[in-house]
Amino acid sequence: MAELPALADTRLVLICNAVHAASEPPRFHDHDDVGETALGPEGRGQAERLLARLLATGELAETSALLTSNARRAIETAEIIGPSLGTGITESSCGFCEPHSGECDGMAVDEWMATLAQNRIDNWSPYAPKSPGGEALRVAMDRTARALIDAVLAYAGGTVVVVTHTVPLRSSLWAFLGLPFHAQYAYPEFTHTGITEWVADGWMPGTGQLKARLVRYNDHAHLMPGAWA
C-alpha cells in the first residue's frame, strides 16, 4: 500500500437538523420539505437554543467550514447557528442527505403504505429502496461515509461542522468505529440539534481506514431546562 499523507488533527462536528415542521398527514421528507419553511416554531426554537449555547461557550467559534445536506431543514438550521461559527454555509451537498426516497419523496405515509410499501416488505434487504428510483439504506451509508471522510480531508487540520440527519450520523459510527453494519442500531437515537464530534488524526495501520476518536455523542445540553437561557 502506498504511504498515506500525514493528517493533522481535524474536528468533524456533526449536528442533527432541528425538527421539521409538523405536516398533516405525515409525509416522507427527503428533499421535499413541504411548506414555505422547513422549520416550524419548535425547530426554530431548538436551533436558537443551540445558537445561544455556541455564542456563550465559543466552542465552535473557529469553524473552518459549515456544510449541510440539500434538505431545507438542514440549511435553515445552519443559517440560524451560523453567526456563532464565524462563517456562513460553505456548501450544501447530497452527500449528507438521508437515503433518497425516490417516487415516494413528499408522499403521505398512508399513501405509501397503500401503494408502494408492500413491494418493499416482500423484497426487504438493506439494498431495497423505499420506492422506485430511491436509494437503499446500505448504499446511502456508503455515500454518507464517503462524504464525511472527504470533508475531513478537504479541511484537514481545521474544524468542519456538518448539519445533517440520522443516517449520516449513524454512518459515522459505522465508518469510524469499524462497527458491523447492524451495530448502528444498538446506539441511542439522535436528538434534533444534538452534537456528535469526532477528531480524525491519521490512518489505521495497514488498512488505509481513516482513524478517528469519538469526543462526544448526541450532546444536547442546550435543550435542558434553563440551559443558556
Q: Are 220 and 193 in contact (CB under 8 A)?
A: yes
CATH hierarchy code of domain 10-223:
3.40.50.1240
3-class state of residue 117 by DSSP = helix
Please work out, in degrees rounded to the nearest 5, the angle formed at the alpha carbon of residue 48 by the alpha carbons of 44 and 50.
Answer: 120
Residue 80: CA count within 13 A, CB half-sphere: 27
Q: What pLDDT is stored for residue 27 in this prediction?
A: 80
Domain ranges of the chain: 10-223
Q: What pLDDT is stored for residue 1 in this prediction?
A: 46
Q: Is the pLDDT of residue 91 over 60?
A: yes
Q: Please, what is the angle between helix 166-177 and helix 137-154, to 10°? A: 70
Place of cell 409538523: 22
Q: What pLDDT is stored for residue 35 in this prediction?
A: 65
Q: pLDDT tens digits, residue range 160-207? A: 999 999 999 999 988 888 777 777 667 778 999 999 999 998 877 766
Q: What pLDDT is stored for residue 69 in this prediction?
A: 95
For residues 113 and 108, give the distance between their C-alpha atoms in angstroms, rounded to a whole number: 9
Q: What pLDDT is stored for residue 67 in this prediction?
A: 98
Q: What pLDDT is stored for residue 189 in this prediction?
A: 86
3-class state of residue 26 by DSSP = coil
Choose among 185, 173, 183: nearest CA to 214. Answer: 173
Comparison of pLDDT for 3 and 158, the residue scoring more: 158
The DSSP symbol for 102 reads G
Choose among 92, 38, 98, 78: nearest CA to 193. Answer: 78
Please work out, in degrees rounded to the nearest 5, the angle formed at the alpha carbon of residue 192 by the alpha carbons of 172 and 52.
Answer: 110
Q: Are 210 and 175 in contact (CB under 8 A)?
A: yes
Please work out, in degrees rounded to the nearest 5, the angle formed at the alpha carbon of residue 156 by the alpha carbons of 158 and 204.
Answer: 125
Q: What pLDDT is stored for residue 36 in this prediction?
A: 65
Give alpha helix (H) positions in 58-189. 72-81, 109-115, 117-122, 137-154, 166-177
Q: Are 89 and 157 in contact (CB under 8 A)?
A: no
Name, in order, each residue with C-beta under 8 angstroms of 111's C-beta and a sequence gap of 6 or more. none
Q: Is the pLDDT of residue 13 over 90?
A: yes
